[in-house]
Amino acid sequence: MSSSKPEEEEKEAPCMNGEVATEDDSSSGEVGVDEAEGEREFAAAMAQLAPEGVRALHARVEAEWGPVLQSACQTAAVRALWARTVRDPAAAVLAGERYLRGLHEKMRRDVRAGAREVHGVMIAVRTLWFDARIEAAVDALGGEPQVVILGAGMDARAYRLNCLKECTVFELDFPELLEMKSDLLHEAMSSANHQKLTLMAKSLIGVPSNIQDGDWVTKLQSCGYVPERNTIWVLEGIIYYLHHADAMQVLETIAASRSSACTVLLADFMNRMRHHSLQPCTISTMTPLSSCCLLLGSLR
């Protein structure tokens, strides 16, 4: 079975070199799925859950976590089942059986019904957009920039993006989420099924903190973040979970935390119609953002 791509106009977003990049050239990945392919990807994802330790950990997730934390597993499930579009060898392990099965059923139902948009496609395209912009930022900044992922959830870019091989990656999120993520990856990497799952980044540092706490930057610095170094900030799928005042406070905190170094901030948002968008936009804060490149956008 097949599904047509959403009928979208070509979106434009600024490249790091000042040229214009469109959604079509943001990544070499393809967006689309048919039933046979979907079944293969689901079977491959489920096979990654064989280690008993992984299943036991996900049983705790289902029993103990609330909706906010569980949303991280849902995002990982999208990356696992849109494997033709997003290469993420850790995604299935981080998602777990419950969310893989749930998304698989929704995708199969959408495709059989000839739906205009199949479940998960927007997150898959969003992932490609961020991957491409992170790679462009690393190339533009050079000098081993720091990468700070706020609200990291089950993000596994440190394990899959070769462009991060000279970068220190900081992942900031709730303590219990980072602990569970570390345990899941440890269990997976200890099994025969995941021998190729290795850290691609120069180093990966977890920062246990809530982005809405006033001292999250202090905790980030205590974990090794250096304001004087070039930094790429990644806010994927997080701004629209915050109240406007909280979102602006986060952006102002980022601006205030930087020194003379160059800063790139990548973020996405939801527009008033609740459509995901990667359209370039501008924001204003009370703190100057000179030498700071902002790429905020949407998938409408």
| Segments making up each domain of the chain, as ranges | 21-112, 121-297
pLDDT value at residue 291: 39
CB atoms within 10 A of CB 193: 16
Higher-confidence residue of 70 and 3: namely 70
Q: Are 152 and 205 in contact (CB under 8 A)?
A: no
Nearest to 45 by CA among 260, 208, 193, 256: 193
Q: What separation, in Å, do the N-terminal and C-terminal C-alpha atoms of the chain show?
A: 25
Q: Average pLDDT, whole number, for the chain?
A: 82
**121-297, CATH topology level:** Rossmann fold (3.40.50)
Report the alpha-carbon distance of residue 275 to residue 26 in Å, rounded.
20
- Residue in this structure with the two tokens 């990667």, named with its chain if needed: 278
pTM for this one?
0.81
Helix ranges, the chain (H): 35-47, 52-64, 67-81, 91-95, 97-112, 121-141, 175-189, 216-222, 244-257
Q: Please check the confidence at residue 51 and state whether its pLDDT lies above 80.
A: yes
Least confident of 52-66, 125-139, 246-260: 246-260
pLDDT digits (tens, 9 = 90+) for 140-178: 998 799 999 999 999 999 999 999 999 999 999 999 999
pLDDT, tens digit, 9 for 90 and up, residues 214-270: 899 999 999 999 999 999 999 999 988 888 899 999 999 998 887 768 999 999 986
Distance CA 12, CA 22 (A): 4
User: How far apart, in whole angstroms, are the C-alpha atoms of residue 210 and residue 150?
Assistant: 9
